[in-house]
Amino acid sequence: MDKTTDPKLKSFIDVHPESDFPIQNIPFGVFRPSKKDAPRVCTAIGDYVLDLSVLQKEGFFNQEVFKDKPVFNSASLNAFMALGKEARVTARQVISRLLSADVSDLRDNSALRKACLYTMNEVILDLPVEIGDYTDFYSSREHATNVGTMFRGKDNALQPNWLHLPVGYHGRSSSVVVSGTDLHRPKGQTKADDADAPSFTPCRLMDFELEMGFFLGTGNPLGKRITMQGADEHIWGLALVNDWSARDIQKWEYVPLGPFGAKNFGTSISPWIITPEALEPFRTKGPEQKDPAPLPYLQSKENRDTYDIELEVAIKGENMDEPFTVCRSNFKYLYWSMKQQLVHHSVTGCNMRTGDLLASGTISGPTPDSYGSMLELSWRGSNPIKFTNGEERKFLKDGDEVIMRGWSQGDGYRIGFGECTGKVLPALD
């Protein structure tokens, strides 16, 4: 086991057992102490943000992998990510030591603590990665089956290719936003089944999609594919993703080339990137892939390529005092793993690059309360969700805030992702 994930580790900073950010987590993000300050790289511990640029300036990151590379004094994680796995692992070891209860370097240096520790709710968390390319997959068998059943019938729910390859499409990275960014309801072409022609209207069927995304640390040269054996070296970290969806716009536009305006208006991600090292204690098996078995280039020897990550979605309407939980799912339900998504993406020789984002697609589980979208939860609007205040939803209304959370539960601690939030604003003129 990696020493940084030892459940017995304690920090000199008090951390609640249900905090997303114990000493075992060490997520990475980008923050600004205030609007006038320049962004810099940080980690989280309990209710605090730790400024890594200050620690690097003070000489704590003097290892060879960081020599003459001020990667933490940056507006994104990209320079740090481009150094690869060795730098990430080394940084975790340095941070873990500095935060440990029995190490005095930071604990007993009040001036240094004042310079590098900030209360989390007082800082600004920025988009952590400069995202070059964004690809969204369709990797949940339950989700694909549910949607296919709605639109094509139970006997033709999955398309012929679905069990043979991770289906995906190229998304739009320019509209990926950090948690807390509110989005306007999109406008576009829609067409009712009984209408003779389409009309230009605000989206009527606004939806969330519960997803997990992962970022590329190092890429591959054009023409040289990534293999299942080498994929782990390229996966730098994970984040929660809400890939907002305009269902009525999508229905009209998606044939024959797939989603376009229905998806490009906004994708929200959590501000913290959680590393594979933090999640390693929660590694687990994914669904069996036997009938049919994937082609050899997608096969995994042990099928332990996923993590046990609890996921939940809540909605808080304008007239609600508290959010109402509408969905509880788990990352381990995904049929196609992150490694398989990455390997299939590059199998043509496509060159992946530092900062690329690959998202899972909606993560639905086997029961109705684990479905990861309003489309499924309300079953295309036929079964509205009833809130405790008497309101109900078929799809999202203006003013609704969607709150996503994810965590892996350990013995006396949890590895959390923080929140991924966003509110639906009225359509613009």
pLDDT, tens digit (0-9, with 9 covering 90-100), for 312-364: 999 999 999 999 999 999 999 999 999 999 999 999 999 999 999 999 999 99
Q: What confidence category does residue 29 fall into, taking pLDDT thresholds of 50, 70 and 90? A: very high
- Own/partner pairs, 291-300, CB within 8 angstroms, 24+ separation: 292/163, 292/164, 294/164, 294/165, 294/340, 295/164, 297/227, 297/228, 297/343, 297/347, 298/165, 298/166, 298/228, 298/340, 298/343, 298/344, 299/228, 300/228, 300/337, 300/339, 300/340
Nearest alpha-carbon partner for 208 in 143, 277, 281, 287: 143
pLDDT of residue 352: 98
* Dihedral in degrees, nearest 10, Cα atoms 348, 351, 354, 355: -60
Q: Are 146 and 362 in contact (CB under 8 A)?
A: no
pLDDT (0 to 100) of residue 163 = 98
Helix (H) or strand (E) holding 343: helix 338-346
Q: What percent of the chain has pLDDT over 70?
A: 100
Element (H, E) at 276: helix 276-279
pLDDT over 90 at 389, yes or no: yes
Residue 25 pLDDT > 90: yes
**Selection from 373, 86, 413 nearest residue 211 by Cα:** 373
pLDDT band per the 50, 70, 90 thresholds, residue 1? low
Residue 392 pLDDT class (50, 70, 90 cuts): very high
pLDDT value at 196 more than 70 = yes
Q: What is the mean pLDDT of the chain?
A: 97
193 Cβ contact partners less than 8 Å away, ≥ 6 residues apart? none
| Residue 143 annotated as catalytic | yes
pLDDT digits (tens, 9 = 90+) for 251-262: 999 999 999 999
Residues counted in the chain: 429
Choice among 16, 143, 170, 345 that is catalytic: 143
- Structural domain boundaries of the chain? 3-125, 134-425
Give me the CATH code for the 3-125 domain, please: 2.30.30.230
Nearest to 205 by CA among 382, 325, 329: 382
What average pLDDT does the segment 269-276 reach?
Answer: 98
- Is 134-425 a domain of CATH 3.40.50.12280? no
